[in-house]
């Protein structure tokens, strides 16, 4: 089987992009499994997107930014220029993996991409996406293992203490075909994240590579991430 085709779409509106992903995915169910996988790389104009389970209370103040309902998983997030959005359109059956492994591979590719620029990315159990230590983004120490923030009504340590979210993940799988994907913050206006509880977590800090002192072109990060996704999503 061939490596997924990388398609760089530039700055594109999110609604026609979602429509195109859905059309691409629908067509795959009738092509006998012959169509190659693709990975779309793009940026979006400012927009908030809600996942299927998105709770309206997590949208605090849209301040005129459009809000788009989607059929991906997860809660509300923000997209804007300076953020690489990767949409892997993958036949998971042909790849031979299930959703949990698929999510792990996407996160692994984000971590490796950050590592290319010297930044250490981390997973937080139960909170999809990738995080960095705000006080030491280039250090390699593992995160402490912390329980969920509340258990049986008893407050426990905040698992996001000292962390900033640098990549958000939200996917959809239909008849074993994936779409939607992952957004990695490169050099963007982070203020609109203040209008939401990012991914449903109140007061969760959001960060980008530029804030961490890494000055790099968005297109370069898109290429690095796209290549890693293609390598790890090839049968």
Residues carrying an active site annotation: 199
- Tokens of residue 25, six digits: 């995915």
The beta strand positions in the chain, using DSSP E, are: 5-11, 38-43, 47-50, 67-69, 77-79, 83-89, 122-124, 127-133, 150-151, 154-155, 163-174, 177-185, 205-206
- Tokens of residue 95, six digits: 């790849």
Burial category of 36 from C-beta neighbours within 10 Å (exposed 0-12, middle 13-18, buried 19 and up):
exposed
SS3 169: strand
Q: What angle do CA 84, 35, 169 make, to 5 degrees?
A: 30
- How are beta strands 163-174 and 38-43 bridged, if at all? unpaired
Write down the residue that tokens 């203020």 correspond to: 191
Burial category of 16 from C-beta neighbours within 10 Å (exposed 0-12, middle 13-18, buried 19 and up):
exposed
């Amino acid at each position: 089987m061939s490596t997924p085709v990388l398609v760089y779409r530039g700055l594109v509106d999110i609604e026609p992009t979602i429509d195109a992903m859905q059309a691409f995915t629908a067509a795959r169910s009738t092509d006998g499994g012959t169509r190659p996988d693709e990975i779309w790389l793009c940026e979006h104009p400012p927009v908030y997107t809600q996942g299927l389970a998105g709770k309206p209370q997590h949208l605090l103040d849209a301040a005129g930014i459009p809000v788009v309902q989607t059929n991906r998983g997860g809660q509300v997030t923000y997209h804007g220029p300076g953020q690489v959005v990767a949409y892997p359109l993958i036949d998971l059956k042909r790849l031979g993996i299930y959703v949990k492994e698929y999510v792990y591979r996407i996160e692994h590719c984000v971590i490796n991409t950050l590592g290319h620029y010297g930044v250490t990315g981390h997973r937080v159990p139960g909170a999809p996406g990738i995080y960095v230590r705000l006080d030491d983004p280039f250090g390699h120490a593992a995160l402490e293992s912390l329980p969920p923030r509340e258990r049986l009504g008893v407050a426990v340590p905040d698992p996001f203490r000292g962390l900033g979210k640098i990549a958000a993940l939200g996917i959809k799988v239909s008849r074993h075909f994936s779409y939607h994907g992952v957004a990695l913050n490169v050099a963007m206006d982070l203020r609109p994240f203040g209008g939401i509880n990012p991914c449903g977590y109140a007061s969760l800090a959001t960060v980008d590579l530029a804030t961490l002192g890494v000055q790099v072109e968005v297109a370069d990060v898109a290429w690095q991430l796209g290549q890693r996704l293609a390598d790890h999503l090839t049968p």
